[in-house]
Structure 1
Amino acid sequence: MQSTRLPLSDCLDAAVTAAHAAAAILQAYSRNRAELVIDTKTRNDLVSQADRESEEAVINILRERTPDYGIVAEESGGQTSGAASWYIDPLDGTTNFLHGIPQYAVSIALIAHAGSIVDGDTPLERDTPVIGVVYDPCREELFTAMYGVGAWLNERRINVSSAPNLAESVIGTGFPFRDFSFADQYMPTLNHAISNTRGVRRLGAAALDLAWVACGRYDGYWEMGLAPWDVAAGTVIVREAGGICEDIHHRDPWPIKGYVYAGNPQTAPALDAMIQPHLKKD
């Protein structure tokens, strides 16, 4: 079977267009939060019509521009297919959004499937995030990345920090909030980080946490129990900014199961070493 070459520039343009369309819907609702209809999917897992309508806007644009690609979206589901699949979080940081906390974003990523060609003539050996867009409409900050090309904040190229160790680092994280089954693995890592870093921050939007690692605001980040659409875009943005973003369990080619650590070439291995002793081994 012939491998498919992905038109990454066109894909990035489509994702940016979709992210802006979704953000326009979110910001319109943000001025009338009291009128939002809010449903509870599970404990502490909320969804509103803002999530649903912004996701629909993203999907409509991506289906029109890239009809042969699969779509996996937070609210409407979907499945992977073809040479690549989009992973969409139309509102990362829903709880922040609903409480009027200006820390949320639209996150869109393209995952190229094994066998696709994105650079040169050699097909990819494993599924790989190749396009990442994270748009923060409150700050009007657009984080983008393209596999093998680089990462940008608006039109400025970005790089991870140069922090040499955890002791000189500010680290982002996320507490268990929906699934508490891994709390006994997570809490010792949080205790270690509090005691051995310059500071720990928990701002409640994983896509932005990863984007902030990419631009050097955070020196590292780790979290457990996320969803693939929370981390897909951030993974490629961190990697293209010169950083490391990987699966905590070292099983998957990207943190598709939502157990993620990220940082620069010094801090990421240090975070990994901090986490590993506390993981349950299968």
Structure 2
Amino acid sequence: MQTSLALSSSLEAAVQAAHAGAAILQAYASNRSELVIDLKMRNDLVSQADREAEFAVIDILRSQTPEFGIIAEESGGQASGQASWCIDPLDGTTNFLHGIPHYAVSIALIAHAGTQVNGEILAVDTPVIGVVYDPNREEMFTAMYGAGSWLNGQRIYCSHADSLANSVVATGFPFRDFSFADQYMPALHYAIEHTRGIRRHGAAALDLAWVACGRFDAYWEMGLAPWDVAAGTIIVREAGGISEDIYEQLPWPSRGYVYSGGKTVAPELLDMLKPHLKYPQKP
């Protein structure tokens, strides 16, 4: 008989790991001029702050949940076992390096297809734990599959905006991969003219967390990585919203093409995007 995932203890481990990673980031934040910064590719930076924060996160998760696989932005890894951690030790690296206090540690647990969660056998890979910690505001967003989403221990919910026209919508401009610009730019132009306003803050995990607590009514972005959106996806879903693959091909937006929002606005957002999409081959 298959054992169900222990979600509560996994969430506790992720929260502890997020605090540990954030402590390292904040220690470096006041001495940014001394950071050694490497260029991974155009507009894609990494520093020892990212690497050390990731090490701290992984160290805690490995010690407390050795049965899970680990996939992390800087050190890689692979999926294994019933579930795997998906880690971004510093979401919003460019903000961090420029002294803009808007970045987060993002940690998600992805349960693999066939795993039992809360008595349910999952048919597809599914985010089941999400933690996004903003150390500048001391805001800890958490979610557990089937149990809800919280901000600093208080339940949160997506907004009840009734239309895109009455919505503040977040997005992220192409910054590293410009291959999808012809899909993105026409939708952005439409959104500028047909929403209450567009915001671009530069940290996808926090964009999704802010959708979950109703600060943003909707959000979309293209060309991200799985660790950018994994935790935020379950936080939005457990807050009563939608966070899905723009191309409607994957069980969660693991290729980094994500749209999200409340249950009324998110479908309207997708309808706005669809005329401009070039659908990839199904995986």
User: Which category describes the TM-score, using the shorter chain as reference length?
Assistant: over 0.9
Alignment counterpart, residue 281 of structure 1, candidates 276, 279, 282: 279
In structure 2, the partner of 1:62 is 61
What residue number does 1:24 align with? 23
Aligned residue in 2 for 1:95: 94
**Which amino acid in structure 2 is aligned with residue 60 of structure 1?**
D
Runs of 4+ with deviation above 2 angstroms: none
Deviation, 1:281, is: 3.0
Q: Distance in 1 between matches of 2:160 and 2:179?
A: 34
SS in 2 for 1:271: helix
**Residue 203, structure 1, aligned to residue 197, structure 2:** no
Q: Which amino acid aligns with 2:33?
A: A
* Equivalent-residue separation in structure 1 for 2:278 and 2:139 (angstroms): 38
SS in 2 for 1:78: strand
Task: Map Cα deviations across residues 36-69 of structure 1 (whole Å, 9 max, x no partner).
Answer: 0000000000000000000000000000011010
> C-alpha displacement at 1:155, in angstroms?
1.1
Counterpart in the other structure of 2:238: 240
The code of the aligned residue for 1:133 comes to: V
**Residues 22, 90 of structure 1: 8 Å contact kept:** yes
Q: How many residues align?
A: 280
Aligned residue in 1 for 2:77: 78
Once the two structures are superposed, residues 97-125 of structure 1 have per-residue CA deviations (whole angstroms, 9 ceiling, x without a partner) of 000000000000000001111112x3111
* 2:46 matches 1:47: yes
**Is 2:95 the partner of 1:124?**
no
Give the 5 Å matches for 1:123-142: 123-142=121-140
Q: 1:231 aligns with which of 229, 232, 238?
A: 229
Code of the residue aligned with 2:220 in structure 1: it is W
Deviations 1:220-261 (CA, angstroms, capped at 9, x unpaired): 000000000000000000000000000001111000000000
* Residue in structure 2 matched with residue 113 of structure 1 by the alignment: 112
Question: For the residues of structure 2 that align with 1:25 and 1:171, how far apart are their CA atoms?
Answer: 31
* TM-score, structure 2 normalization: 0.98
Contact 1:4–1:115 (CA under 8 A) maintained in structure 2 = no
Measure how far apart 1:24 and its partner are.
0.3
Q: State percent identity of aligned pairs.
A: 73
Partner of 1:169: 167
3-state secondary structure, aligned to 1:144:
strand
CA distance in structure 1 between the aligned counterparts of 2:186 and 2:71, rounded to whole angstroms: 33
Per-residue deviation, residues 15-45 of structure 1 (Å, max 9, x unmatched): 0000000000000000100000000000000
In the alignment, residue 150 of structure 1 is paired with which amino acid?
A: G
| Secondary structure of 1:12's aligned partner | helix
Task: Provide the secondary structure at the position in 2 that maps to 1:222.
Answer: strand
Using the size of structure 1 for normalisation, the TM-score is 0.98
Stretches of structure 1 that go unaligned for 5 or more consecutive residues are none
Contact 1:105 1:136 in 2 (8 A): yes
Distance in 2 separating the partners of 1:16 and 1:66: 13
RMSD of equivalent CA atoms: 0.6
Q: Can you give the 5+ residue segments of structure 2 that lack an aligned partner in the other structure?
A: none
- Cα deviation code 1:115-167 (max 9, x no counterpart): 111112x3111111000000000000000000000000001100000100000
1:269 equivalent in structure 2: 267
**Contact conserved, 1:3 with 1:115, CA < 8 A, in 2?**
no
| Separation of aligned partners in 2, 1:276 and 1:81 | 34
Contact 1:3 1:123 in 2 (8 A): no
**Amino acid in the other structure paired with 1:84:** A
Q: Distance in 2 between matches of 1:64 and 1:163?
A: 43
- Structure-2 residue corresponding to 1:259: 257
Look up the SS of the partner of 1:85 in the other structure.
strand
Supply the distance in 2 between the matched residues of 1:21 and 1:249 (Cα, whole angstroms): 36
